[in-house]
Amino acid sequence: EAQVTQNPRYLITVTGKKLTVTCSQNMNHEYMSWYRQDPGLGLRQIYYSMNVEVTDKGDVPEGYKVSRKEKRNFPLILESPSPNQTSLYFCASSKTGRSSYNSPLHFGNGTRLTVT
Amino acid sequence: GQNIDQPTEMTATEGAIVQINCTYQTSGFNGLFWYQQHAGEAPTFLSYNVLDGLEEKGRFSSFLSRSKGYSYLLLKELQMKDSASYLCAVREGTGGFKTIFGAGTRLFVKA
């Protein structure tokens, strides 16, 4: 089954304790992206990757890191989480290229992070 | 600047028709998507428009006017299960393949 898998689904942590949210897709998609979703603000892009070893900042990258060592995986790293990073996080992937502008994003099931 | 606007909430009655509007101003344009998101779940793809006009897909239709920066999602024969948030999103024209989302419209379907 084609899917994007995120782990964990729920995470409660304390300020400053490094954490990683994993994301894996089995559709051979070049494009992967991380979003955070907050009430009234919608989905905001944190980082994206056009392909292996190619990553770039989205609209709200501060406090986050990513890596793309393999095509299928795109982990999100919070080196020193703070309470303002409490949010619902989604990983997404899609095909890319000029012939793929109509390719929708496929989303993982989300990770609800609470930082106390 | 980049901006996508849609109403925050709408309420409609089971069996009725509802239209959710979206206006956008973005850096370039490579199509507009509508996604459905039930509470606590991932968004799922509904429709894509890149040319002006109406695209129909069962009970759901989506319309685009590029010159006006305007789209709407039309839901017919509303069912209780259509209660969800509907997200308008634009794929920009820059090389980054970026998709910008509106804040979403929460639709409540009442009996």
- Residue type at A19 in one-letter notation: L
CA dihedral A94→B108→B7→B25, nearest 10 degrees, is 10
Asked if the Cβ–Cβ distance from A105 to B99 is below 8 Å, we say yes
Is the pLDDT assigned to residue B93 strictly greater than 80?
Answer: no
CB of B61 within 8 A of CB of B77?
no
Please report residues of A whose CB lies closer than 8 A to that of B97. 31, 48, 50, 94, 96, 101
Q: Does A88 or B98 have the greater pLDDT score?
A: A88
Once rounded to an integer, what is the mean pLDDT over residues B51-79? 97
Give A68→chain B minimum CA distance, Å: 16
Q: Which of A44, A45, A107 sits opposite B42 (nearest CB)?
A: A107
Where is A43: in which H helix or E strand? Answer: strand A42-51
Backbone angles phi, psi at B79, to 5 degrees: -120, 160
In angstroms, the CA B59 to CA A104 distance is 20
Asked if the Cβ–Cβ distance from B43 to A109 is below 8 Å, we say no
CA nearest neighbour of A35 among B2, B87, B59, B62: B87
Asked if the Cβ–Cβ distance from A48 to B41 is below 8 Å, we say no
Give A25→chain B minimum CA distance, Å: 15
Q: Is the dihedral of CA B27, B33, A44, B80 positive or negative?
A: positive
Residue A101, pLDDT score: 84
pLDDT, one tens digit per residue, over A13-46 is: 999 999 999 999 999 999 999 999 999 888 999 9
Give the CB-side neighbour count of residue B95, counting CA atoms within 13 A. Answer: 4
Residue A96, pLDDT score: 84
Please report residues of B whose CB lies closer than 8 A to that of A7. none
pLDDT, one tens digit per residue, over B4-51 is: 999 999 999 999 999 999 999 987 899 999 999 999 899 999 999 999
CA nearest neighbour of B2 among B84, B93, B107: B93
